[in-house]
Amino acid sequence: MRDYKIVVLGAGGVGKSSITVQFVQGVYVESYDPTIEDSYRKQIEIDGRACDLEILDTAGVAQFTAMRELYIKSGKGFLLVYSVTDENSLKELLALREQVLRIKDSDNVPMVLIGNKSDLESDRVVSIEDGVKVSQEWGLVPFYETSAMYKTNVDEAFIDVVRQIMRKEAAVSAEKKQQKEAAKQTTIANDKEIDTEPVSGAQKEAKASRLKQSLSGDTSTADKSRSRCCVIM
């Protein structure tokens, strides 16, 4: 079973805790209680592979930014959540994404963009097209509109980010294997080059001399042996 640490990020009040609890426990939490940090675990099978997910539900308030950096460092995948009823919550994600890329020092970070509270259609101020546009600007990051109340696209969003982590790990493993094989081939090529190095004239003469002495010694021994064999007593 593989362990995967997933971090849920977003502004306060967008429903990070609601979608996390809905995914882990299948329960909808209606009341809003500002989170400092909550950690959840869930075992799930994805594409035939058993996974143990550790999900960090982070604070959405500014005074906990130092803690957020620690979560980002340890996280493998990220859910960036905004509310479709709050335009500013989407704008805050732009800075959060940049923080993730900076801390991870990579442009290839498993990530999902989530527009939560899609069931509150009458209060909507951020359209689906707005979410799609941000997704495209981020390099086609997977985008889901979710409803924690009705569990719409909640499982799909979490599973998507885990699949991204799996693909990234497989790519890194394949690259390391390729580098190891390339290093092996280089070593073999170097060994062959040493074996086929041109021999200088002096080296050839020395080798011939050693061979001549060896043959001469063998002949002498053979002659003595032949002489003893032929003595008639």
Where are the domains positioned within the chain? 3-170
- CB under 8 A, 24+ apart: contacts of 70-74: 71/7, 71/37, 72/7, 72/9, 72/99, 72/100, 72/103, 72/104, 73/103, 73/104, 74/5, 74/7
Is the pLDDT at 220 greater than 50, yes or no? no
Say which residue, 5 or 227, is predicted with more confidence. Answer: 5
Work out the pLDDT band at 227, boundaries 50, 70, 90.
Answer: very low
Find the mean pLDDT for residues 157-168: 96
**CATH class of this structure's domain 3-170:** alpha beta
Query: For residue 75, what pLDDT band results from cuts at 50, 70 and 90?
Result: very high
Q: Give residue 67's pLDDT band: very low, low, confident or very high (50, 70, 90).
A: confident
What is each CA distance from 205 to 194, 198, 201, 202, in whole angstroms?
20, 14, 6, 5
Please determine, for residue 203, whether its predicted confidence score (pLDDT) is greater than 90.
no
Average pLDDT over residues 202-213: 66
Q: For residues 25 and 208, give the distance between their C-alpha atoms in angstroms, rounded to a whole number.
A: 84
Average pLDDT value for the chain: 85
Cα–Cα distances (Å) from 22 to 6, 47, 98, in that order, read 15, 21, 28
What pTM, to 2 d.p., does this model score? 0.76
Q: Specify the pLDDT at position 164.
A: 97
For the beta sheet containing 111-116, the strands, ordered from the edge strand earlier in sequence to the opposite edge, are: 37-46, 49-58, 2-10, 77-83, 111-116, 143-145
Q: What does the pLDDT read at residue 68?
A: 81
Q: Which residues, 6+ apart, have CB-to-CB distance to 80 below 8 Å?
A: 9, 10, 93, 96, 97, 100, 111, 112, 113, 114
Total residue count of the chain as it appears in this document: 233
* Residue 61 and residue 16 in contact, taking contact as beta carbons nearer than 8 Å: no
Q: Are 141 and 172 in contact (CB under 8 A)?
A: no
C-alpha span between 95 and 105 (Å, rounded):
15
- Compute the average pLDDT of residues 147-176: 94
Share of the chain above pLDDT 70, in %: 77
Residue written as token pair 């340890």:
74
Report which of residues 187 and 48 the model is more confident about.
Answer: 48
| pLDDT at residue 212 in the model | 66
The answer to whether residue 197 scores a pLDDT higher than 70 is: no
As to burial, measured by CB atoms within 10 angstroms (0-12 exposed, 13-18 middle, 19+ buried), residue 11 is: buried
Which pLDDT belongs to residue 38?
85
186, burial (CB in 10 Å: exposed 0-12, middle 13-18, buried 19+): exposed
Position 63 pLDDT exceeds 80:
no
69 pLDDT tier (thresholds 50, 70, 90): confident
